[in-house]
Structure 1
Amino acid sequence: MWLWLFALVGFYFLFRRYRYRQILQNLTDKYVFITGCDSGFGNLLARQLDGRGLRVLAACLTQRGAEQLKEATSQRLQTIILDVTDSESVAAAANWVKQQVGDRGLWGLVNNAGISVPSAPNEWLTKDDFMKILNVNLVGLIDVTLGLIPLIRKAKGRIVNVSSVFGRISFIGGGYCISKYGVEAFSDSLRRELRSFGVKVCIIEPGFFKTFVTDPKYIGKNLEQIWNRLPAETKEAYKQDFFDKSVMKIRNLEKVNSKLSLVTDCMEHALTAVHPHTRYSAGWDAKLIYLPLSYLPTALVDFLMALT
Structure 2
Amino acid sequence: MTTILRIVSDCGGCFVMQESFLHRERQNTTMWFWLLVIMGFYFLFRWYWYRQILQNLTDKYVFITGCDSGFGNLLARQLDEQGLRVLAACLTQRGTEQLKEATSQRLQTVILDVTDSENVAAAASWVKQQVGDRGLWGLVNNAGISSPIAPNGWLTKNDFCKVLNVNLVGMIDVTLSLLPLIRKAKGRIVNVSSGAGRLSLTGGGYSISKYGVEAFSDSLRRELCSFGVKVCIIEPGAFKTHITDPKYFQETIKQIWSHLPEETKESYGKSSYDIYFKNMHSSVDVVSSKLSLVTDCMEHALTAVHPHTRYSAGWDVKLIYLPLSYLPTSLVDFLWSLVTVSLAKMLLKQDP
Q: TM-score range by the shorter chain?
A: over 0.9
Partner SS for 1:307? helix
Give the C-alpha shift of residue 277 in structure 1. 0.2
- Correspondences of 1:94-109 after superposition (within 5 Å): 94-109=124-139
1:198 aligned onto 2:228 = yes
The structure 1 residue matched to 2:156, chosen from 121, 126, 130, is 126
Is 1:215–1:253's contact at 8 Å kept on the other side of the alignment? no
Q: What is the Cα-based RMSD across aligned positions, in Å? A: 0.6
Give the C-alpha shift of residue 128 in structure 1. 0.6
Give the C-alpha shift of residue 9 in structure 1. 1.0
Q: Deviation above 6 Å: which 4+ runs of structure 1?
A: none
The structure 2 residue matched to 1:35, chosen from 52, 65, 80, is 65
Percentage of identical aligned residues: 79
Give the C-alpha shift of residue 305 in structure 1. 1.3
- Correspondences of 1:4-43 after superposition (within 5 Å): 4-43=34-73
Cross-structure match for 1:152? 182
- Structure 2 residue ranges without an equivalent (≥5): 1-30, 340-352
Give me the whole-angstrom Cα distance separating, in 1, the residues matched to 2:321 and 2:161. 26
Partner SS for 1:280? strand
1:299 aligned onto 2:336 = no
Give me the whole-angstrom Cα distance separating, in 2, the residues matched to 1:288 and 1:252. 20
Partner SS for 1:225? helix
Give me the whole-angstrom Cα distance separating, in 1, the residues matched to 2:201 and 2:243. 15
Larger RCO (CA under 8 A, 6+ residues apart): 1
Cross-structure match for 1:265? 296
Partner SS for 2:172? helix
Deviation readout 1:174-204 (Å, 9 max, x if unpaired): 1110000000000000000000110000000
Give the C-alpha shift of residue 253 in structure 1. 2.2
**Which shifted more, 235-244 or 104-113?**
235-244
Cross-structure match for 1:274? 305
Partner SS for 2:209? helix
Partner SS for 2:113? coil
Partner SS for 2:86? strand
Q: TM-score, normalised by structure 2?
A: 0.87
Partner SS for 1:169? coil
Q: TM-score, normalised by structure 1?
A: 0.99
Q: 1:264 is aligned with what amino acid? A: T
Cross-structure match for 2:214? 184
Cross-structure match for 2:252? 222
Partner SS for 1:38? coil
Give me the whole-angstrom Cα distance separating, in 1, the residues matched to 2:284 and 2:189. 31
Count of residue correspondences = 308
Partner SS for 1:223? helix
Give me the whole-angstrom Cα distance separating, in 2, the residues matched to 1:293 and 1:248. 25
- Structure 1 residue ranges without an equivalent (≥5): none
Structure with larger Rg: 2
Give the C-alpha shift of residue 53 in structure 1. 0.4
**Which shifted more, 160-169 or 243-252?**
243-252
The structure 2 residue matched to 1:58, chosen from 65, 79, 88, is 88
Give me the whole-angstrom Cα distance separating, in 2, the residues matched to 1:282 and 1:33. 21
